[in-house]
Amino acid sequence: MNKTIRHTAVICLLLVLALLVRATWVQAYESKALADDQYNRRKIIAQYAQPLGDIVVAGSPVTGSRKTGSGDLAYERTYTDGGLYAPVTGYSSQAYGSTQLEGIYADVLDGTDTRLKNPLDALMGKATEPGDVLTTIDPAVQKAGYDALGGKKGAAVAIDPKTGRVLGVISTPSYDPTKISGTTDGDAWRKLSEDADKPLVNRALRQPLPPGSTFKLVVAAAALEDGLYGSVDDRTASPDPYTLPGTSTVLRNENSSAPCENATIRTALEYSCNTVFAKMADDLGQEKVRAMAEKFGFNDSEQEMPVRASASVYPSGMDKAQTALTGIGQFDVTATPLQMAMVSSALANDGLLASPHMVSEIVDSKGDTLSSYPDGDTERIVSSTTAEQLRSAMVTVVEDGTGTNARIDGAEVGGKTGTAQHGVDNSNTPYAWFTSYAKDSSTGKEVAVAVVVEDSDAARSEVSGNGLAAPIAEKMMRAALK
C-alpha cells in the first residue's frame, strides 16, 4: 500500500470514528433535549396525538380536546368559558406553545410524565393516559369577579386566609384560549398580541402597579410591630399639611376637612390620611418599612402558586422624602393584586400568612394522587395583637370610612381603599384599589380579596377605590361566604 492510500485510509477511519462518537453522544446525552425541543415536530405530533388531560374547577373540567379532522395533529385544545378561566388555565396552542397551568403541567396533561407510565403499556407501545390538574378555584367567586369587572381593565384575586387556597384569579380584558389553540389561528394571535389593552397579560399575577393607600396597612403594621405606636388608637405626631423632609413640597390630604392632624392610625385609615402615613414611613425609616413589606411578600421574585407571579417591589436607596412617599404607596412601590390579597389574608388569619396556591392535586387518569399541595402552610408575619388591631381599624374603614361599598349584612368586613397616581404628575387616570377580608361567624367561612381597576368608563373625578374597586370585592366576598 503506497503512502497516499495509507493516509487516505487513516483519514477515512478517523472520520468514521468521529461520526460514531457523535452519534453515540447524541443518543446517550442529547436525546432528551432534542426530544423536548419546542421545534421538534415529532414532539408536537405526540403531544396532540390523543385528547389531553383536563384542568378541573370544582369537580368539572374547564378544558377539553376535539379532533382536528386534518393534518398530522389529531387533537386540539378547547376551553369551556375560556375568557372566564384564561387567567387560571393559560393556553395550550399547537403553534404558540403553552402558558400557566397548561405549560407547568404539560407533561401530566399530555401523558409524558414518568409517574403516569405503566411498564406493560410501554412494552406494548400503548399511549399513556394523561392526568388531570385539580384547582382550588371557586367558580362562584371567579364568575362574580369576572362579571363585576365587566368591561373595565383590571384584575382581582381571592384567597382563603386559613388555607391559602386561591379562590379566584380574574384579569380583564380576557381572551378565549380556544381561538389560538390550533395551527391556523395566526390572525387571532396577531390581534391579541397587538391589542393595546394586552389581554394576554395576567394582570392579577404579572402586572405590578402602584398600590396607593392600600399600602398604608403595611406601614401601620410596621409601626405597631416596631412599637412606634402601641395601639391603633394612640394619637400620632402628624402635622397637616406635611412638608416632605428635605424639600419644600407640601403633601396634603384628598379630603381637606378630614381630621388628619395627629390622627390615630384608626382615624388615619378611616379617612385615608396621606400626611399621617408619609410621616410614619419617614419616622420608621425605609429599612423598617422594607422589612415589614418583605415579610408580607414584597421583593420576592420566586413567588409561585404554582404559576410564578411578578415580584411586588419596595424600593431601596431612597432619600427621606422618597421614603415618606412610599408610606402612601407611591414613589417606586408596586404590587400585584395577589400581593395585596396576601396582606389582607395575613391580617385576617391572626397575623399568619398561609402560602397561596391554586392547585390542590395532580391526579392520574384513575383519580389517584400523583402530588398534592398542602393547605395552611403558614408563616407568622405580625403578632396576633397587631393583626387584631388592624382588623378592627379595617372594619372601621368599611363601616364608617372610605370603604362603605364593601359592606355585607351579617358578616365582618374590613378593608382599605387606594387611589394610586398614574403617569407624570398624575396625568393619566388613577388606579382604583381595594384590599379586604370578610368573615361569617355563623359558618366559619373567610375570604381575602384585592381588586385593582386600571381603567373604566368613569369620569376621572369619580375614580376611587370605594367607587370602583370595593363593589367588585364585595361581590366576590359575598360569593365566597355563601
Q: Which three cell numbers stand for residue 260?
A: 388628619
Question: What's the rounded Cα separation, in Å, for the pair 304 and 297?
Answer: 11
Question: What's the rounded Cα separation, in Å, for the pair 110 and 133?
Answer: 12
Among the listed residues 420, 450, 421, 419, the one whose alpha carbon sits nearest the alpha carbon of residue 434: 450
Only one residue has cell 385539580, namely: 134
Please, are residues 416 and 435 in contact by the beta-carbon 8 Å criterion? yes
Q: Which helix (H) or strand (E) holds 267?
A: helix 265-271
The question of whether 213 is a catalytic residue gets the answer yes
The bridge status of strand 378-380 relative to strand 369-372 is: unpaired
The one-letter amino acid at 156: A
Question: What's the rounded Cα separation, in Å, for the pair 202 and 184?
Answer: 24
Q: Which three cell numbers stand for residue 345?
A: 389574608
Please, are residues 76 and 48 in contact by the beta-carbon 8 Å criterion? yes
Look at residue 15 in the predicted model and tell me its pLDDT: 82
Q: Is the dihedral of CA 347, 465, 88, 302 positive or negative?
A: negative
Look at residue 34 in the predicted model and tell me its pLDDT: 47
Q: Which three cell numbers stand for residue 228?
A: 412606634
Please, are residues 301 and 335 in contact by the beta-carbon 8 Å criterion? no
Look at residue 28 in the predicted model and tell me its pLDDT: 61
Question: How many CB atoms are closer than 10 A to CB 98?
Answer: 24
pLDDT tens figures, 42-51: 667 777 878 9
User: Which residues pair with residue 448 across a beta bridge?
Assistant: 159, 437
Question: What's the rounded Cα separation, in Å, for the pair 64 and 54?
Answer: 6
Please, are residues 363 and 370 in contact by the beta-carbon 8 Å criterion? yes
User: What are the backbone angles phi and psi of residue 149, rounded to the nearest 5°?
Assistant: -70, -35
Look at residue 132 in the predicted model and tell me its pLDDT: 98
The bridge status of strand 250-251 relative to strand 359-363 is: unpaired
Among the listed residues 356, 340, 349, the one whose alpha carbon sits nearest the alpha carbon of residue 304: 356
Distances (CA, A) of 199 to 93, 153, 335, 450: 16, 9, 19, 20
Exposure string of 27-45, with b = 16+ CB inside 10 Å and e = fewer, is eeeeeeeeeeeeeeeebbe
Q: Which three cell numbers stand for residue 377?
A: 402552610
The pLDDT profile of the chain, 482 residues, written as one tens digit per residue, is 577 777 777 788 888 887 877 777 666 665 555 455 555 666 677 778 789 999 999 999 999 999 987 667 889 999 999 999 999 999 999 999 999 999 999 999 999 999 998 766 655 556 689 999 999 999 999 999 999 999 899 999 999 999 999 999 999 999 999 999 998 889 999 999 999 999 999 999 999 999 999 999 999 999 999 999 999 999 999 999 999 999 999 999 999 999 999 999 999 999 999 999 999 999 999 999 999 999 999 999 989 999 999 999 999 999 999 999 999 999 999 999 999 999 999 999 999 999 999 999 999 999 999 999 989 889 999 999 999 999 999 999 999 999 999 999 999 999 999 998 755 555 567 899 999 999 999 999 999 999 999 986 565 445 789 999 999 999 999 999 99
Please, are residues 466 and 271 in contact by the beta-carbon 8 Å criterion? no
User: Which residues pair with residue 155 across a beta bridge?
Assistant: 171, 452
SS3 392: helix
Question: What's the rounded Cα separation, in Å, for the pair 68 and 386?
Answer: 58
Percent of the chain that is helix, strand, coil (3-state, to 5): 40, 20, 40
SS3 354: strand
Spot the catalytic one: 93, 174, 181, 213.
213
Length of the chain in residues, anyone? 482
Helix pair angle (337-348, 286-296), 10° resolution: 90
Question: What's the rounded Cα separation, in Å, for the pair 408 and 443?
Answer: 14
Q: For domain 206-359+374-481, give the CATH superfamily.
A: DD-peptidase/beta-lactamase superfamily (3.40.710.10)
